[in-house]
Structure 1
Amino acid sequence: MSSEEQKLVDTAGDYMYAVKGGTPVDDPQWRSCRLVMTDKRLVLANSSGKQALPHSNIEVVGEEELPASVDPAGATPMRIGDNVVLFDAADVSDFELEYCRATLHATVILTKHPAVVGGVIQDEATWRKTRFQLDDDVITLAFPGGEETTFAVDDVGTVETSEQAVMGETRTILEVEHTDEDDRSVETYFSGMDHHTTALQSLFERVIEEREGDYELDEIESQVLMALYSGVSPFEMSDFVGIPVDEVEEIYRKLLDVGAVDEVRTRTEVSLNAQGRNMASEAMNEQ
């Protein structure tokens, strides 16, 4: 390992080939190994030798990539060339998250920030090289000239993908909604090499999935959420949606219970949080 390479995880683990050379393995078996994650590669070592796998050759994938006969049992599937390999480590509580951290650690990606503010596209926003850092649960984006912006990864509301021209080349981009330092709803666009965008997508979508519950909004609750998302004051909600104040407050209590809003004051005032913005966005898409 070179002096410029940083070791981030070094632990005992297990791996299993579910697909090898593009063909499902008939009798997949777990094998023990030592797993080392650096900011450049994933190293797998056992009695047979050592494999150093650059992050650019690895893609975190979903369980749908596994043969139906393979139960991941909480392990993380990764595509490596024509192979799909499951990885697990007892001392790492969330292997996929730690791998995404390693892939993205202090790496330079492309961002457009803010690309959207309050639902309004910022025409003057341009793509810039940006150093990405995830420390604990806070993302820091460092731009040329010393400018920085930070936001909590748990504050991500929605993530969408699209294909766009980025610096003269068509790339996959992630459109990530979150709040900024001024508590505005903004969107930051991310792009880069394929393994960067897949790691970012996995990171952000896991945050959203872990936060989502099974609660289904009724029609009036959807209207209230969409109104909050559009900037309607909680105090104006009764007149805006045409229902009594006490019914609005009851809806706020339900939204507090499901984690869609945060309480600002003891009575009638709430603010939409990341989960609420995600629910409101889905409600709007269903209209």
Structure 2
Amino acid sequence: MSEDERKLMDDRGQFLQAVRGGREVQDADWTQCRIVLTTVRIVLVAEGKRTIPLDSITDVGGRYDVNQNAAGVASYVTIHVEGEDVLLLRAPEQDEFETDLYRAFVDNTIVYVQHPAVKGGVVQNADWQRAKIKLTDEALQLALSDGQYVTIDRDDIGDVETDEQTVDGSERRVFEVEHTDEEGTSVETNLTGEEEQVTILEEVLQEGAERNRANLDLSPVEQQIVMALHSGVSPFDLPEFVDSDVEEIEEIFDRLIELDVIETIRERTEVEMTSRGRQVASEEMGNQ
């Protein structure tokens, strides 16, 4: 291993060769192996040893259910290798393994960032700038050339849209990522990069969005409340804003909390005087 090569993961796992030399392997099955991942290569050690340089991998992600052995597994990562091979890889800690694999491709590389492209629903005039990227289990971290540090929590990605834009003189696929900033304001950060980076970013961002995407069937009033909160309307102003009473709004809040659409930041306690409290107040007033 060279001085520039670092080991990222070394664990037991499995692989399935779905395509060999451009032809699907219909009877392919999972093989127990040791998986060694470095910043330069993947090594699969079973009866023999297979080394896959990272620069020979042309695509990562997506499912490739070549047969029932593949389709019957809930989670694996797909890699497409030059020479028209496709392998499916599994590890005991699959999410951590996939993050390590993505890190091997994008950590400390340079991407293009526009932040914030939108803030609180208002389009900003932010310029595109270069940024160094770092991926962790929890977040996508961006160090922008103007000194900003932007953190996109992977559990906080609300939506991801794609667009084609000219960035740095080239037509590129751009990801428009909705998330919240440190103040809790909804913002949109736009990201793009070279083809290999875009492939990895798509997997990371879509996976984050899937964590938060729910099949919600919200009523018109619930939709109105969600949009009002997103636009900055105070929760205390919502009854008047949507023309509903406080009790109905609180019931809707309870449902939206259960659906993980909103979360409680601070609870206001409603109180009334007890008989002892009234007695204390009367004594205090008599002493004044």
> Which TM-score band applies after superposition, normalised by the shorter structure?
0.7 to 0.9
1:265 aligns to what SS in structure 2?
A: coil
Deviation at 1:23, TM superposition (A): 2.7
Partner of 1:271: none
User: Residues 101, 181 of structure 1: CA spacing in aligned structure 2 closer, same or farther, 3 A cutoff?
Assistant: same
**Distance in 1, Cα, partners of 2:42 & 2:134:** 19
Deviation at 1:79, TM superposition (A): 2.5
Partner of 1:262: 263
Q: TM-score, normalized by length of structure 2?
A: 0.82
Partner of 1:66: 65
The answer to whether structure 1 residue 168 and structure 2 residue 140 are counterparts is no
Greater CA drift, 176-185 or 70-79? 70-79
Contact 2:158 2:212 in 1 (8 A): no
**1:242-281 correspondence runs (5 A):** 242-267=243-268
1:226 aligns to what SS in structure 2?
A: helix
Contact 2:26 2:66 in 1 (8 A): no
User: Residues 33, 181 of structure 1: CA spacing in aligned structure 2 closer, same or farther, 3 A cutoff?
Assistant: same
Greater CA drift, 8-17 or 213-222? 213-222
Deviation at 1:3, TM superposition (A): 1.4
Deviation at 1:219, TM superposition (A): 1.9
2:263 aligns to what SS in structure 1?
A: strand
1:186-242 per-position Cα deviation (integer Å, ceiling 9, x unaligned) = 111111122322222212222232334444212221111111112222122112212
**Distance in 2, Cα, partners of 1:149 & 1:219:** 34
User: Residues 222, 128 of structure 1: CA spacing in aligned structure 2 closer, same or farther, 3 A cutoff?
Assistant: same
Contact 2:172 2:192 in 1 (8 A): yes
**Distance in 1, Cα, partners of 2:94 & 2:59:** 19
Contact 2:26 2:67 in 1 (8 A): no
**Distance in 2, Cα, partners of 1:68 & 1:48:** 24
1:250 aligns to what SS in structure 2?
A: helix
Contact 1:19 1:83 in 2 (8 A): yes
What are structure 2's unaligned runs of at least 5 residues? Answer: 270-288
Kindly, what percent of the aligned residue pairs are identical? Answer: 36
Q: TM-score, normalized by length of structure 1?
A: 0.82
Residue of structure 2 aligned with 1:95, choices 84, 97, 104 = 97
User: Residues 217, 91 of structure 1: CA spacing in aligned structure 2 closer, same or farther, 3 A cutoff?
Assistant: closer
1:262 aligns to what SS in structure 2?
A: coil
**Distance in 1, Cα, partners of 2:129 & 2:13:** 38
Partner of 2:282: none
**1:210-229 correspondence runs (5 A):** 210-229=211-230
Residue of structure 2 aligned with 1:108, choices 103, 107, 110 = 110
Greater CA drift, 9-18 or 145-154? 145-154
Partner of 2:195: 194
**Distance in 2, Cα, partners of 1:130 & 1:253:** 40
Partner of 2:85: 83
Partner of 1:274: none
What are structure 1's unaligned runs of at least 5 residues? Answer: 269-287
Partner of 2:38: 38
1:126 aligns to what SS in structure 2?
A: coil
**1:222-241 correspondence runs (5 A):** 222-241=223-242
1:228 aligns to what SS in structure 2?
A: helix
Residues matched between the structures, number: 266
1:104-151 per-position Cα deviation (integer Å, ceiling 9, x unaligned) = 22222221222222222222x222221111234133211235442334
**Distance in 2, Cα, partners of 1:141 & 1:248:** 38
**Distance in 1, Cα, partners of 2:212 & 2:159:** 12
- Highest Rg: 1 or 2? 2
The answer to whether structure 1 residue 119 and structure 2 residue 121 are counterparts is yes
**Distance in 2, Cα, partners of 1:246 & 1:56:** 60
Task: Calculate the aligned-residue CA RMSD, in Å.
Answer: 2.4
Contact 1:18 1:84 in 2 (8 A): yes
**Distance in 1, Cα, partners of 2:56 & 2:259:** 39
Deviation at 1:44, TM superposition (A): 3.0
2:232 aligns to what SS in structure 1?
A: coil
Contact 1:57 1:195 in 2 (8 A): no
**Distance in 2, Cα, partners of 1:20 & 1:37:** 21
